[in-house]
């Protein structure tokens, strides 16, 4: 299904109309174990879409998982991961289809994610809003790669496409934990903003600013949960969103 802006009308209920962007289909998301997720065939079909945002939250854990993580494993990793997943699931299109329900409104999904201490990823060597803008990312495959190849592995985001001559074009960006959450003035990841399992994630000195990290006593491992959302603005320059699409739970290098 191509991305489109749909007007949802609730006039008869006394609720104002709002625009809704189609989500990334769950069928376009593929995970490899818990170290890589690929989103294929991003599209751009209307002027309301600005960019694709990817929300994340980090969970420290005592559980050692090396394979793909499903919902049954989440509670073993961290009880908060499972409760966050259950809470956010109701907003996804897949949940609404499976349960034959309209689910929960996505009109303020940005605030919903921020309320769960999820934030948009950032890029060390690029601007997310430009790199994943609808016009720039259309037709690309996006890969989030957490495969650990050395002690200094830095997780990356890759955009790739194959042109008409069969040549593969790739753009690579280091993933960064974002340094700002609306309404959370103290959030400023320190001192390492890469998506890696380091002792700094557990250091109480930085706890007040590492609010994107859910702590667990004695933890040795770290995981991050991700969702992708189409983000745009309406004719009044107010934000509009698609429903979120779950990308998976990734094990951070160093775990």
Quick check: 226 pLDDT over 90? Answer: yes
Both tokens of 2, joined, read 């191509």
Mean pLDDT of 60-77: 94
Of 215 and 16, which is predicted with more confidence? 215
d(CA 206, CA 219): 16
What average pLDDT does range 220-248 have in this prediction?
Answer: 93
Region 49-67: mean pLDDT is 95
Tell me which of 64 and 47 has the higher pLDDT.
Answer: 64
Handedness of CA 114, 157, 223, 24 (dihedral sign): positive
Is the predicted pLDDT of residue 183 greater than 70, yes or no? no
The domain containing residue 92 runs over which residues? 5-251
The confidence score (pLDDT) of residue 179 equals: 67
Would you say residue 181 has pLDDT above 70? no
Of the chain, the percentage scoring pLDDT greater than 70 comes to 86
Q: Indicate whether 31 pLDDT > 60.
A: yes
Residue 219 phi/psi, 5-degree rounding, is -70, 145
CA separation for the pair 13, 33 (Å, rounded) = 45
Q: Return the pLDDT at 3.
A: 45
Residue 32, CB half-sphere, CA atoms under 13 Å: how many? 10
Q: What's the total number of domains in the chain?
A: 1
Mean pLDDT of 22-47: 90
Alpha-carbon distance 227 to 88, whole Å?
Answer: 9
157 φ, ψ (degrees, to nearest 5): -115, 130
């Amino acid at each position: 299904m191509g991305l489109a802006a749909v007007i949802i009308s609730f006039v008869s209920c006394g609720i104002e109309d709002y625009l809704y962007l189609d989500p990334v289909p769950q069928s376009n998301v593929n995970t490899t174990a818990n170290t890589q997720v690929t989103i294929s065939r991003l599209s751009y079909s209307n002027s309301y879409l600005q960019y694709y945002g990817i929300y994340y939250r980090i969970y420290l854990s005592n559980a050692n998982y090396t394979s793909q993580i499903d919902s049954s494993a989440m509670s073993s990793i961290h009880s908060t991961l499972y409760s966050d997943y259950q809470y956010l699931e109701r907003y996804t299109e897949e949940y609404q289809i499976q349960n034959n329900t309209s689910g929960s409104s996505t009109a303020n999904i940005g605030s919903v994610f921020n309320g769960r201490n999820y934030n948009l990823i950032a890029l060390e060597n690029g601007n997310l809003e430009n790199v994943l803008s609808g016009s720039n990312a259309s037709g690309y495959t996006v890969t989030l790669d957490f495969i650990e190849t050395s002690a200094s592995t830095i997780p990356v985001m890759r955009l790739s496409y194959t042109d008409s001559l069969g040549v593969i074009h790739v753009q690579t960006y280091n993933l960064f934990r974002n340094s700002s959450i609306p309404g959370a003035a103290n959030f400023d990841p320190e001192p390492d903003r890469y998506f890696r399992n380091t002792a700094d994630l557990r250091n109480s000195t930085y706890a007040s600013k590492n609010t994107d990290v859910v702590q667990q006593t004695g933890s040795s491992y770290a995981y991050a949960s991700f969702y992708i959302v189409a983000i745009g603005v309406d004719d009044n320059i107010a934000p509009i969103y698609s429903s979120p699409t779950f990308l998976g739970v990734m094990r951070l290098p160093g775990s």
